[in-house]
Every structure is written in structure tokens, then in C-alpha cells.
Amino acid sequence: MTKEEIVEQIKENALNQQIPIMSDEGIQYLIQYIQEHSVHRILEVGAAVGYSAIMMCLASEDVVVTTIERDEVRYLEALKNIKKVGLEDRIQLLYHDAFDVSLEDEYDLIFIDAAKAQNQRFFEKFEKNLVSGGTIITDNMNFHGLVDQNLDEIQSKNLRQMVRKIKNYITFLEDNSRYQTHFLKLGDGLAVSIKV
Ligand code: SAM
């Protein structure tokens, strides 16, 4: 099997198991971003089964990824998947809660794709690891279109809370003068925050 076929199988398996992986549109944007900006070091929060880490790594031979996953089953699956595509030398997979991880290294790109309600906390924890001129990309900013809805229209209390947190994160990014943030309606919505 070619690398592309293995990756396609990893993606299909994840989708069949209803593991939330990045949409094709989102992944294509990340790949293009990595290539156009000559991104070298990437930190990802939320590996799941390693699909997006693998895709980012395959975007360019120069890319190395550190990615964090707190779920044991997904971590073990990610470990297996990374080996299958032979990227164990370029992807460092950490089995931890991201809030317990202490990193000294610097990254050109930080990709936040973990617990949506915690986006601001992830951003604030890891921004010290971003190089100046680097970028933080956050996924799920539209939360399946719910972020565009009026909060009163959302019946479930849990969903309302989640949407409120994402809206607060949008305000946090808009008000943050140290970053220039663009919101893109790609996939489930991306926030692209460039450190100015
Ligand atoms: N980036 C992956 C991809 O596209 O292939 C998908 C990641 S999935 C949307 C989010 C993952 O983040 C889940 O597997 C979840 O267990 C993990 N996660 C959530 N909160 C976390 C935390 N505090 N620390 C580490 N992992 C976390």
C-alpha cells in the first residue's frame, strides 16, 4: 500500500468509528498554509488517532510535529497509525492532558483542535511557545453552524454553554491586539491568528 492509501484508510477508520477528525477542506487549508509559509515546527493540541498530524507532516518533508492526546485508546491508535506511515521520527506524540504538559520548545504553528470549550485556555497556555510572526490556528469555530445562531434558539443547555464559550473565544481573539485574527468559513470554521 502507498502512504496515501494508508492515510486514506486511517481517515476511513476514524470516520467509521465516529472519531471527530478534521474536514477535507480544513486539512487542505492547513497543508497549503504550511507549504506557503514554510512552516517547520508544529504543535497540535488534540491528536485523536493522528490523522491531522500525519497530514500536516506529509505537507512538506521539512515539517516536524509534536501532538498531544489525553485519551488512551486514541493515543494507542495514533501511535500505531504514525508507525504505519513511517513518521515516528517526525511526529512526537505525547500521552497527556495538554494542561499538564510543560513545553520549552518554540513552534511556527500551533494547531488547537481539542476540547472546544477550552480553546482560550489552550491558547493562553501555549502562546509562549509560539515564535514571533508565528500562527495559532483553531478549528471548530462555527461548531456545525450553531455559532451563527441566536443563543435563545438553542434548546439544549449544554449546547448553549458550548456556543457561549466559542462566542467568548471569538471576542477574545478579536480584542487581542497581539494577534491579527481572520475567521474562515472553511470546514467547521477556522480562526487563523498571526502573532504581530
Ligand atoms: N486533530 C485531530 C484530527 O483532525 O485528526 C482530531 C482531534 S479531535 C477533534 C479532539 C481530540 O482532543 C480528542 O481525541 C480528545 O480526546 C482530545 N483532547 C480534548 N481535550 C484534551 C486535552 N485537554 N488534552 C489532550 N487532548 C485533549
Q: Which amino acid is at 110?
A: I
State how many domains the chain has.
Answer: 1
Give the integer Cα–Cα distance in Å for 145 and 163: 10
Q: Are strands 130-138 and 190-195 parallel, antiparallel or unpaired?
A: antiparallel
pLDDT, one tens digit per residue, over 74-126 is: 999 999 999 999 999 999 999 999 999 999 999 999 999 999 999 999 999 99
SS3 140: coil
Q: Are strands 130-138 and 107-112 parallel, antiparallel or unpaired?
A: parallel
- Which protein residues are within 6 Å of ligand 1, measured from CB? 20-22, 46, 48, 51-52, 68-71, 74, 97-99, 113-115
Q: How far is the CA of 113 from the centre of ligand 1 (A)?
A: 6
| Grid cell 453552524 in the structure block, residue | 145
Residue 14 near residue 49, CB atoms below 8 Å: yes
Contacts of 145 (CB under 8 A, 6+ apart): none
Which residue lies with its CA nearest to atom 14 of ligand 1? Answer: 48
**Length of the chain measured in residues:** 196
The parent domain of residue 159 ranges over: 3-195
pLDDT, one tens digit per residue, over 14-61 is: 999 999 999 999 999 999 999 999 999 999 999 999 999 999 999 999
Give the integer Cα–Cα distance in Å for 77 and 145: 30
CATH number at residue 118: 3.40.50.150
pLDDT, one tens digit per residue, over 64-75 is: 999 999 999 999
According to the model, what pLDDT value does residue 152 have?
Answer: 84
Q: Which of 69, 76, 100, 186 to mutate to test the pocket of ligand 1 (most atoms within 8 A of CB)?
A: 69
